[in-house]
Chain A
Amino acid sequence: MSAIILLSILGVVLLYMGLGNNKRLLAPVGILGLAGAGALSFLDRRPLPAWGHGAMAFDDLSMAFCVAMAGITLLLFVFGSDYYSRTQENVAEHYALLVFSLTGAFLLTSYQNLLMLFLGIEVLSIPLYILAGGKKRSYRSSEAGFKYFLLGSFATAFFLMGIALVYGMAGSFDLKVIGDYAAANAEHPAALFLVGMFFIAVGLGFKVAAVPFHFWSPDVYEGAPTIITAFMSTVVKMGSFAAVYRLIGVHITALPPAVERTLWAITILTLLIGNLVALRQSHFKRLMAYSSIAHTGFLLMAVLSGDALAGRALFYYTLTYALATVGLFVVFTVAKRAANGDEHIRIFRGMFKSKPWLAAATLIMLLSLAGIPPTAGFLAKYQVFVLAVQNGYVWSTLFAAVMAVLGIYYYLKVIRETFTTNEEGAVLQLNATNTAVIAVCGVGALLLGLWPMGLI
């Protein structure tokens, strides 16, 4: 809880610092605050099991998610000290909004009733709508912000309606009461409860960009500033999956069969569409968007396996995915600058010749996303498949495995560009902070695979 308070204050402090002229201090202060928030959430886990009249409860999993999300945001702030060095406009607001959005993600890891879930999702999303449209002079960014805002509010309306219906049937916002109600009426669930659960699934499906609620994601990923895209595909994904897992993995475990079938259908569709469409992308940010949709499919499978260890698998998966993604977006920004703003994957061409170590890090991160040993991404996917098979979902696992193999192809496309030697690539400018972020991400993606540190 103290971490959430610290983050809220940090956001306000950053805002006030924007009044001064020294924009260079913003990132260091933000980094300090984020480190403090990570440490506080680590210290918080024991003394406060429940808070706010049972509105929130902290456990080891929520602690792990909080620390990891603070860490990823910290990496993004380090990247931001370079990313925002070329602009003077609204930098403090951008940092503050990122911190506020992280506050929402923290709420999502430890909520105990639907009210807090709703607030968490909104606190997470509203700053993102603004940040996606943060480049005010760019049409694509404004379009992304507006599209995200309109579609997001639409999804929120569904979500809220679902909460109202579930509340009406179960008589409480509390997750335990709703879980007991669902278990007691598992045979013949009331129709209104079913509709409510469907609506909640629509709202959350939109947040995690599951098919068929994924249409916003490629456009928004493409239009938003790169650092925001990186935040959306990492921290937001971690927070939303912590929320999804808490809702249907921990509390409402006795899902009505109709809802469970629907969720499996969504999972299969997400795996299929995400991977198939990604094959045809040559724009890097769109490629990452569809890759993120495909990963959503694997993560949903872990949640639906219903295993008691699914939470750990989810945490490990999202952490490795986030590390690789942040690093790749930093590499992408460096390459994009050298290519005068081009965003096609050809900007990676010849990187091995000019900067072999950078190319090696890129290789590791792409292999981790593709799920090839010995990187962390392999262990993550393997873990999900094991959970699904252990719980009897053999056919779905086979299908997911085929899709994972298919997915390797589009990551290989980027790798091929990186290691083309017959052409001289552009001159890449790497400074110390960006190198540090890429190194942390690359080494992390490799080390977590070789030595998972008891995370799985």
Chain B
Amino acid sequence: MQILFYLFAAVSILSALFVVAAKNPVNSVIALIVCFLSIAGHYILLNAQFLAVVHIIVYTGAIMVLFLFVIMLLNLNKSTEPQKSMATRIAAVIAGGLFLLTLLGAIKDGIGIANPDVYDGSVGLVKSVGTSLFTEYLLPFEVSSVLFLSAMIGAVMLGKKDKGQPDGGEISGAA
């Protein structure tokens, strides 16, 4: 088990680094898929099957395919680096470094589960997720439908072509 953990950890860190370092966006996306798959492996090690399956279906499946489509449709597979001014770069490095320091300082004391004795190992099983989703967390579950409905309206409203708008309308692309 421990060997598996180290294997997944190494794969996810290396592939995550490759996502940032790769020059070609398509390679970047492929590395991201590998990264997501290894994180799904972590979930299985933690006995969270539901999360692992959802992670693979939603992220690795749907979202990554979308990424690839966008990159290929927009023909972005050239290695183009947007040029930033020196001041922006320095500011970004300082801000990112401070952020890293804050997080390092925070985990210096170590991270512990608040109450390891009461931790229930079966919490991530499909059955327990379903049970709590439809009993304890029923209200948030229902409320999120309003959220998705409004997001859907937005996608249709901003995406569809209005009457009297010329083909390839100059503004609709911005939405």
* Chain A 191-222: CB-based contact to B (< 8 A → 1; otherwise 0): 11011000000000000000000000000000
Residues in B whose Cβ lies below 8 Å from that of A11: 146, 149-150
* Chain B 155-175: CB-based contact to A (< 8 A → 1; otherwise 0): 001100011010001011011
- Beta-carbon nearest neighbor of B159 in chain A: A136
Tell me the number of A-to-B contacts counted with CB atoms below 8 Å: 108
Is A127's CB within 8 Å of the partner chain B? yes
A123 to B149, CA, bound (A): 10
A139 to B172, CA, bound (A): 10
Residues in B whose Cβ lies below 8 Å from that of A103: 146
Is there contact, CB below 8 Å, between B154 and A194?
no
A103 to B111, CA, bound (A): 37
Is A314's CB within 8 Å of the partner chain B? no
Is there contact, CB below 8 Å, between B140 and A55?
yes
A87 to B84, CA, bound (A): 41
Give the residues from 362 to 416 in chain A that come closer than 8 angstroms, CB to CB, to chain B: none
A-B contact pairs, 6 of them (CB 8 A): A11-B149, A15-B153, A139-B171, A168-B113, A171-B115, A191-B105
Shortest CB-to-CB span from B62 to chain A, Å, is: 18
Q: Which range contains the number of B residues in contact with the other chain?
A: 35 or more
A55 to B132, CA, bound (A): 13
Is A126's CB within 8 Å of the partner chain B? yes
Shortest CB-to-CB span from A103 to chain B, Å, is: 6
Is B86's CB within 8 Å of the partner chain A? no
* Chain B 106-125: CB-based contact to A (< 8 A → 1; otherwise 0): 11110101110000000000
Would A126 and B138 be within 8 Å (CB), given that A89-B162, A137-B171, A191-B105 are in contact? no
Shortest CB-to-CB span from B158 to chain A, Å, is: 6
Tally of contact residues, A, Cβ under 8 A: 48
Residues in B whose Cβ lies below 8 Å from that of A130: 150, 153-154, 157-158
A4 to B147, CA, bound (A): 13
A358 to B101, CA, bound (A): 56
Is there contact, CB below 8 Å, between A133 and B147?
no
A133 to B153, CA, bound (A): 13
Is there contact, CB below 8 Å, between A8 and B146?
yes
**Stretch of A27-35, A92-100, A244-252 lying at the B interface:** A92-100
Dominant SS at the A interface? helix
Is A427's CB within 8 Å of the partner chain B? no
Residues in B lying within 8 Å of A, measured CB to CB:
102-103, 105-109, 111, 113-115, 135-140, 143-144, 146-147, 149-151, 153-154, 157-158, 162-163, 165, 169, 171-172, 174-175
Of the residues A12, A89, A142, contact of B175 by C-beta under 8 Å? A142
Would A136 and B172 be within 8 Å (CB), given that A123-B143, A123-B147, A195-B106 are in contact? yes
Residues in A whose Cβ lies below 8 Å from that of B136: 53
Is there contact, CB below 8 Å, between A55 and B139?
yes
Is A184's CB within 8 Å of the partner chain B? no
Is there contact, CB below 8 Å, between B139 and A53?
yes
Of the residues A90, A93, A107, A191, contact of B109 by C-beta under 8 Å? A191
Shortest CB-to-CB span from A172 to chain B, Å, is: 8
Is A40's CB within 8 Å of the partner chain B? no
A230 to B113, CA, bound (A): 45
- Beta-carbon nearest neighbor of B144 in chain A: A119
